[in-house]
């Protein structure tokens, strides 16, 4: 079995740009040993990209959003959608809001879509590649994968994908890519979907694999279990190898993909776990996942099941945030993509808005920017929670957040719907907003910045530069002025 060891060169290569010297970084010394021998070395940078399947306003509401601050610059004001930024000790100084962004439509320009919003506008946002036929899937890799390939080598998880909303929630249709946030290159000019982990518990088990508990007998059992898992996978791996030559061409491709993932798991089990000391620690098992809610075919009224179409995404997002915090703090991963809600999300938002509708229909049927802002606020609180956790985690003389660039994308803006020609619509990529956080590589925080009609991917490009990845995503070239 090929064991991918943590190697010094890949570790150092990944960390370009400005290095912050640290007197000691206990965790990394323990984990990477010789790599940081000498007491000082570069700190890893981390990249986070989040997605919320939500536009900024309600259909027909002339109020564009309750999100954009009134003035550009620092100390920006908060509105209904952004009020949660004052939580957790006020994360505003760590968060920048970029407004006045737009994705071109009617197939007019780099990274554009045509007219079918929910399917068509998503790929240009995620991968920066034009989507003339309004397909729902990306034709290029997404930022988390580009970053992972550049700076993730040597970490246990080159990238992590988490998915808060675990179900499409409708039984008479399927998501067709609206549940996918991450695409990686297949090495042959195409891309492969990378679906997110929907189980917080499974994510917990995977992330903390091999962590050594302080209690010696517990530690011994952990070591034994790791050995068992490796032996079992070794047998499974051998059985796949024996089966493979007997398969037809199409099955072989399918099985090879399965096999590659098994091998990757074996590599992760072989990786040296970090010591659970200092800021890096294994937190308590979150327990069983909240149950997955059922169909949410826009029922209301007296027989309405408040749990239809809701799987306690609130709790799920919290646990995933705690895991991302540790993935970054322990340097288990440097690139994370988190899908909060799917594009055209049919999650029931009743529990946190009191509106017994699915998320998608709040924008259309309820149709007020005020109602929509409650959904934005719910998710922004989750984002603020994660920002604060990273801010409050010291790393040398600074914090983990200071070495991180975070990008939060929304599915839509508010304005012209190119399908109908109507104004003040949710099916629009006019007046889009992207929110960012962190200070890696001179990423600018605490500002409301004018996007001047640029593409949201220009913001992503800036965040990639901030973590030392000098690459443009897809067809969209350059960074956003004032952000880095």
Partner 1 sequence: MTDAPRTLLALMLVGTGCYKGSASDGSEADTEGTGADGTAGTSGGTPEAPELGGVGMMGMRRLSTDEYDNTLFDLIGDDTRPGSALIPEDVADPYDNAFANQIASRTLIEALEQLATESTARLMADAPRRDQVVGCQPTGPDDEACLTSFTAAFGRRALRRPLGDEEVGRFVALGAQYAAEENDFYAGVAVIVRAFLQDPEFVYRVEIGTPTDEPGVSRLDDFEVATRLSYLLWGTTPDDALLDRAESGGLATPEDVRGAAQEMLDDPRALARIDRFHSMWLGYYRLPHAPELTDAMRTETRMLIDKTIMQDRGDWRTLFDATGTFVNDFLAGHYGLPSPGSDAFTWVEYGDSGRRGLLSHGSFLSVAGKFGDTSPTQRGKLIRKRLFCQEIPPPPPTVNVDEPPPTVSSPCKIDRYNMTQIDGCAQCHELLDPVGFGLENYDQQGRFRTTDNDLPECTIAGEGAIDGNTFSGPAGLSDLLRDEGLLDSCIVYQVYEFAMGHDVANDDERYVEDLVTSFAESNYRFDELVLNLVGDEAFLYRREEEV
Name which position in 61, 134, 331, 381 contacts partner 1 (CB under 8 A): 134
Could you give the residue ranges of the DSSP H alpha helices within 84-175?
Answer: 87-90, 117-120, 122-127, 143-151
> Least distance from C-beta 30 to partner 1, angstroms?
26
Q: Which of 292, 314, 450, 477 binds partner 1 (CB under 8 A)?
A: 292
Size, binding site for partner 1 by CB under 8 A? 87
Hey, which residues between 409 and 438 contact partner 1 (CB under 8 A)? 417, 419-420, 422, 425-427
CA distance 387 to 93: 11
List the interface residues with partner 1, window 169-228 (CB under 8 A): 171-172, 174-175, 192-199, 201-202, 205-206, 224, 228
State yes or no: residue 478 binds partner 1 (CB under 8 A). Answer: no
For the CA atoms of 149, 150, 156, 159, what is the dihedral angle to 10 degrees? Answer: -50
Taking CB under 8 A as the criterion, the residue among 65, 144, 289, 411 binding partner 1 is 289
Is residue 282 a contact residue for partner 1 (CB under 8 A)? no
Q: Measuring CA to CA, how many Å separate 19 from each of 42, 317, 403, 417?
A: 5, 32, 10, 45
Q: Which of 166, 249, 237, 245 is nearest to 200 (CA)?
A: 166
Three-state SS for 191? strand
First-to-last alpha carbon distance for the chain, in angstroms, is 43
Other beta carbons within 10 Å of 155: 26
| Minimum CB–partner distance for residue 40 and partner 1 (Å) | 35
Is residue 342 part of the contact set for partner 1 (CB under 8 A)? Answer: no
Stretch that binds partner 1, among 19-27, 245-253, 328-336, 470-478 (CB under 8 A): 245-253
Q: Which of residues 41-80 bind partner 1 (CB under 8 A)?
A: 59
Instruction: Please state the φ and ψ torsions of residue 270, each to the nearest 5 degrees.
Output: -85, -15
> For the window 93-112, what string marks contact with partner 1 as x by the rule CB under 8 A?
--------------------
Contacts of 378 (CB under 8 A, 6+ apart): 314, 349, 352, 353
Site pattern 141..180 for partner 1 (x: CB under 8 A): --------------------x----xxx--xx-xx-----
Per-residue contact flags (x/-) with partner 1 for residues 300 to 339, judged by CB under 8 A:
xx-xxx--xx------------------------------
Asked whether position 38 contacts partner 1 by CB under 8 A, the answer is: no
Examine residue 368 and tell whether it contacts partner 1 (CB under 8 A).
no
Q: Kindly tell me the burial class for residue 185, based on how many C-beta atoms sit within 10 Å of its own C-beta (0-12, 13-18, 19 or more).
A: middle
CA distance 313 to 319: 10
């Amino acid at each position: 079995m090929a064991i991918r060891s943590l190697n010094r060169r890949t570790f150092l290569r990944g960390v370009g740009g400005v290095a912050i010297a640290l007197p000691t970084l206990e965790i990394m010394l323990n984990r990477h040993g010789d790599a940081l021998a000498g007491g000082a070395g570069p700190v890893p940078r981390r990249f986070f990209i989040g997605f919320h399947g939500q536009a900024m306003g309600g259909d027909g509401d002339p109020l564009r959003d309750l999100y954009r601050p009134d003035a550009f610059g620092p100390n920006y004001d908060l509105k209904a959608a952004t009020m949660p930024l004052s939580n957790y000790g006020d994360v505003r100084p760590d968060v920048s809001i970029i407004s006045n962004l737009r994705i071109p439509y009617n197939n007019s320009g780099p990274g554009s879509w045509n007219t079918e919003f929910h399917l068509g506008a998503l790929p240009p946002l995620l991968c920066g590649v034009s989507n003339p036929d309004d397909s729902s899937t990306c034709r290029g890799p997404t930022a988390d994968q580009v970053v992972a390939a550049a700076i993730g080598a040597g970490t246990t998880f080159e990238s992590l994908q988490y998915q808060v909303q675990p179900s499409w929630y409708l039984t008479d249709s399927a998501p067709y890519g609206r549940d996918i946030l991450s695409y990686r290159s297949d090495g042959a000019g195409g891309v492969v979907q990378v679906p997110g982990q929907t189980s917080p518990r499974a994510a917990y088990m995977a992330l903390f694999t091999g962590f050594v508990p302080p209690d010696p007998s517990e530690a011994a059992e952990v070591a034994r279990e790791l050995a068992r898992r490796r032996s079992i996978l070794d047998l499974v791996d051998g059985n796949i190898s024996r089966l493979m030559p007997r398969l037809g061409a199409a099955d072989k491709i399918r099985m090879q993909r399965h096999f590659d993932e098994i091998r990757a798991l074996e590599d992760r089990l072989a990786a040296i776990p970090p010591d659970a000391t200092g800021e890096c620690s294994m937190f308590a098992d979150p327990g069983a996942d909240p149950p997955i809610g059922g169909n949410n075919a826009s029922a209301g009224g007296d027989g309405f099941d408040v749990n239809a179409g809701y799987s306690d995404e609130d709790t799920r997002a919290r646990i995933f945030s705690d895991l991302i915090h540790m993935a970054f703090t322990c340097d288990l991963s440097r690139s994370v993509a988190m899908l909060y809600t799917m594009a055209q999300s049919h999650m029931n938002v009743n529990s946190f808005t009191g509106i017994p509708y699915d998320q998608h229909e709040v924008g259309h049927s309820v149709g007020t920017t005020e109602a929509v802002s409650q959904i934005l606020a719910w998710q922004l609180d989750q984002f603020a929670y994660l920002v604060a956790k990273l801010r409050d985690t010291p790393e040398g003389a600074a914090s983990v957040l200071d070495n991180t660039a975070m990008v939060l994308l929304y599915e839509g803006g508010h304005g012209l719907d190119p399908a109908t020609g109507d104004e003040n619509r949710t099916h629009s990529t006019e007046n889009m907003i992207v929110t960012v956080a962190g200070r890696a590589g001179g990423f600018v925080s605490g500002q409301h910045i004018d996007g001047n009609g640029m593409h949201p991917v220009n913001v992503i490009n800036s965040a990639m530069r901030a973590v030392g990845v000098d690459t443009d995503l897809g067809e969209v070239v350059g960074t956003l002025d004032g952000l880095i």
